[in-house]
């Protein structure tokens, strides 16, 4: 579903992405892990077409989005759902209005049909009873769930997750991962997560890629990561500050 081929990006003299290459299988839950500052979120912005690489290709279901003109790129983006790190909800809109927003923008459905879809998606994330609340009136975990309902509103082919459990307590993190897994139960949607929460993603991912110093240094199943002899991988899994990874 997604092919990232030799993607490179510099900001001034700093080369952030140094030839990133990997593939994401259709219908999988795939996760990009790495330390803070490793280039995960920068790469995600390239994959959803918000930034363009200096070199390389990003192919979504057979179409290279690098250099693509805005109208065609917007058509591709309508196949995406995105759960941003902070939920990115509109503070002035209720829970139901936030979920309805992409439907009103892109589908042109009658209002009764929009409300049917909104209720269905809020049912999926367990928030049907909170439709009229505003983001300031609900918890961080609930805001993430609203964000997921909105990401699923257009029945996308791909959902991108940017640090979906950041800032949450361990119990709420577990609930979010369970929700991600449950909403993927039929395997029709491709999920791509960016995270440094290794314990959570190991439990739900089909494949994991690790980025370090602007390059993919490991790629494989969770089991292959657990048994990897690579020092950088093991250091990340163990949370050890010793070894080749600096702590600046």
Supply 84's token pair. 């941003």
List Cβ<8 Å contacts ≥24 apart for 45-52.
46/7, 46/9, 46/17, 47/2, 47/4, 47/160, 47/192, 48/77, 48/80, 48/82, 48/160, 49/73, 49/76, 49/77, 51/9
Contact 159, 187 (CB under 8 A): no
Please tell me the least confidently modeled range out of 24-28, 104-108, 127-131, 238-242.
238-242
Q: What is the pLDDT of residues 86-124, one digit of tens each?
A: 768 999 999 999 999 999 988 878 999 999 999 999 998
Same structural domain for residues 174 and 65? yes
Same structural domain for residues 190 and 207? yes
Q: Which pLDDT does position 242 carry in this prediction?
A: 57
Same structural domain for residues 71 and 164? yes
**Is a pLDDT exceeding 80 seen at residue 247?**
no
Same structural domain for residues 192 and 167? yes
Same structural domain for residues 52 and 146? no
Residue 65 region, left (φ>0) first, then alpha (ψ -120 to 50), else beta?
alpha
The secondary structure element, H or E, covering residue 72 is: helix 70-77
> What integer is the mean pLDDT of 16-35?
94
Q: Which pLDDT does position 167 carry in this prediction?
A: 84
Same structural domain for residues 176 and 205? yes
Q: Are strands 63-64 and 55-60 parallel, antiparallel or unpaired?
A: antiparallel
Same structural domain for residues 168 and 61? yes
Same structural domain for residues 174 and 230? yes
pLDDT band at 240 (very low <50, low <70, confident <90, very high): low
Contact 58, 192 (CB under 8 A): no
What are the φ/ψ torsions at residue 3 (nearest 5 degrees)?
-125, 120
Q: Which pLDDT does position 87 carry in this prediction?
A: 67
Same structural domain for residues 65 and 182? yes
Domain count of the fold of the chain:
2
Q: Where does a domain end: 109, 132, 156?
A: 156
Q: Where does a domain end: 107, 122, 156?
A: 156
Strand partners of residue 158: 80, 190
DSSP annotation of 136: G
Q: Where does a domain end: 102, 124, 156?
A: 156
Q: Residue 230 is part of which domain span? A: 1-79+157-248
Q: Which pLDDT does position 241 carry in this prediction?
A: 64
CATH number of domain containing 232? 3.40.50.300
Q: Would the pTM count as exceeding 0.95?
A: no
Same structural domain for residues 233 and 218? yes
Q: What is the pLDDT of residues 59-85, one digit of tens each?
A: 999 999 999 999 999 999 889 999 987
Contacts of residue 229, defined as CB under 8 A and 6 or more positions apart, other chains included, come to none
How confident is the prediction for the chain on average, in pLDDT?
Answer: 90
Q: What is the pLDDT of residues 30-56, one digit of tens each?
A: 999 988 888 898 999 999 999 999 999
Q: What is the pLDDT of residues 151-200, one digit of tens each?
A: 999 999 999 999 998 888 889 889 899 999 988 977 789 999 999 888 88
* Three-class HEC string of 41-64: HHHHHHHCCCCCCCEEEEEECCEE
Same structural domain for residues 152 and 171? no
In degrees, rounded to 5, the angle at the alpha carbon of residue 188 between the alpha carbons of residues 114 and 109 is 15
Same structural domain for residues 145 and 163? no
């Amino acid at each position: 579903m997604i092919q990232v081929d030799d993607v490179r990006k510099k900001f001034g003299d700093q080369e952030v992405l140094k030839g990133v290459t990997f593939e994401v299988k259709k219908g999988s839950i795939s996760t990009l892990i790495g330390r803070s500052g490793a280039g995960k979120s920068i790469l995600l912005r390239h994959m959803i077409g918000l930034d363009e690489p200096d070199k390389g290709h990003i192919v979504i279901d057979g179409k290279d989005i690098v250099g693509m003109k805005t109208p065609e790129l917007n058509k591709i983006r309508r196949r995406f759902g995105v759960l941003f790190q902070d939920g990115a909800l509109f503070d002035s809109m209720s829970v139901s209005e936030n979920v309805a927003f992409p439907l009103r923008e892109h589908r042109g459905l009658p209002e009764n049909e929009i409300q049917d879809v909104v209720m269905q998606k809020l049912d999926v994330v367990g928030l049907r009873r909170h439709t009229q609340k505003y983001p300031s009136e609900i918890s961080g975990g609930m805001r993430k769930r609203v964000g997921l309902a909105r990401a699923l509103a257009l029945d996308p082919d791909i959902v991108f997750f940017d640090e979906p459990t950041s800032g949450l307590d361990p119990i709420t993190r577990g609930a979010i991962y369970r929700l991600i897994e449950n909403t993927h139960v039929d395997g029709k949607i491709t999920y791509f997560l960016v995270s440094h929460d290794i314990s959570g993603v190991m439990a739900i991912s089909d494949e994991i890629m690790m980025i370090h110093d602007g390059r993919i240094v490991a790629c494989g199943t969770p089991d292959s990561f657990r048994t990897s002899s690579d020092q950088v991988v093991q250091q990340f899994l163990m949370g050890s500050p010793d070894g080749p990874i600096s702590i600046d």
